Amino acid sequence: MSDDYSHLVGHRFPGGTVTVPGWVDRLWRDAVLADPPGAAVHPGLAYLAAVQGSGVTFQDIFDLAEATAESGPMFGEQTLTFERPLTTDTEYTVEGEITGVVRKHGKRAGTFDMLTFELRLRDAAGDLVATNANTFIFPRAAGGAA
Amino acid sequence: MRLSEVEVGTELAPFVVESVSAEKMKLMAALLRDPTPIHLDEEAVRRLGMGDRVVNQGPANQAYLVNMLLGFAGDPGGIRSVTVRFLGNVFAGDRVECHGRVTEVDADTGLVTVELEETVDGAPVMAGTAVVALPD
């Protein structure tokens, strides 16, 4: 338990590779009511691809922040940035790290930490294709860890 | 849409989900490998005092906004960035409306900035901005 998790900034994830099969893109589009598939992966699916290829699970990130699923972690913000669309059945390398931890205090929300991590998808040549940044909110009881 | 057809204040064609489906949430849970029970089990939602309808996944709510942007850009390569803030829950049966409004047009680069809002019964559940490249 800590009052300061800023030491996590710079923590690198194991990384790995990810491929989005065409059938996964088709099912995703069905789930989110999108138009039928083409060559490009639905842009929203880049989030899932980045997380799946990062080598970490949400539970791993909760553990780093000394939080539990029961303590009510929430998604705060998400950014997807594209150099070009992802394509189905193409292997991408994923790398990433924690880029920020900020403690805040709100009248209604109480004390919470905002942890941001960034994941980058690169093609076989090493060129950046897409970046995914996510901010989790970790409620903290009485100013300490959740 | 083409760059010459937009200006600051242009409204995007809304994307509307008439009734969020609990069955689609099961498919989404499998794709996300997300075992969180509030997406699957109404009893779990009741135990948490969140009502009696299962909760839609955040990435699905985000994807509705992306669907609207795909309609605007006309080409998936036109979407350069999407930033969203998660402001509230969407429940099974909710009617979701996604809206967008152009706030900046850069004629030199062809990049258009769009303010995003997603609502249920007029209350915001997601907000953000996007940058879209439009053809001349």
Please tell me whether the interface predicted TM-score (ipTM) of this complex is above 0.90: yes
CA-to-CA distance for B24 and B21, rounded, in angstroms?
5
Give the closest of A43, A48, A81 to B32, CB-based: A48
Task: Name the residue in chain B with its Cα closest to that of A69.
Answer: B36
Cβ contacts of B24 on chain A, cutoff 8 Å: 30-33
Q: Where are the alpha helices (DSSP H) in chain A?
A: 22-31, 45-53, 58-64
| Residuewise pLDDT in 10s, chain A (146 residues) | 688 899 999 999 999 999 999 999 999 999 999 998 888 999 999 999 999 999 998 888 989 999 887 777 888 999 999 999 999 999 999 999 999 999 999 887 789 999 999 999 999 999 999 999 999 999 887 544 44
Angle, in degrees to the nearest 10, between helices B58-73 and B22-32: 100
What is the value of pTM for the model shown?
A: 0.92
pLDDT value, residue A144? 47
Q: How far is the alpha carbon of B62 from chain A, nearest alpha carbon, in Å?
A: 7
User: What CATH code is carried by the domain that includes residue A96?
Assistant: 3.10.129.10
> What's the domain count of chain B?
1
User: What CATH code is carried by the domain that includes residue B69?
Assistant: 3.10.129.10
Domain contains A1: no
**Which of B70, B90, B111, B132 is most worth mutating to test chain A (most A CB atoms within 10 A of its CB)?**
B70
pLDDT value, residue A142? 59
Domain residue limits at B109: 3-133
pLDDT value, residue A1? 60
| Residue A32 at interface with chain B, using a CB cutoff of 8 Å | yes
Q: Which long-range contacts (CB under 8 A, 24 or more apart) does B117-125 make?
A: B118/B61, B118/B64, B118/B65, B120/B88, B120/B90, B120/B91, B120/B94, B120/B95, B120/B96, B121/B94, B121/B95, B123/B88, B124/B87, B124/B88, B125/B61, B125/B86, B125/B87, B125/B88, B125/B89, B125/B90, B125/B96
Domain residue limits at A84: 6-143
Domain contains A52: yes
Q: How far is the alpha carbon of B56 from chain A, nearest alpha carbon, in Å?
A: 10
Q: Report pLDDT digits (tens) over B64-117.
A: 999 999 999 999 999 999 999 999 999 999 999 999 999 999 999 999 999 999
Domain contains A104: yes
Whose tokens are 């294709």? That residue is A129
Contact A42 B63 (CB under 8 A): yes
Contact B86 A75 (CB under 8 A): yes
| Residue A114 at interface with chain B, using a CB cutoff of 8 Å | no
Contact B80 A82 (CB under 8 A): yes
**Which of A24, A32, A131 is most worth mutating to test chain B (most B CB atoms within 10 A of its CB)?**
A32
Q: What tokens appear for A1 in the block?
A: 């338990």
> What's the domain count of chain A?
1
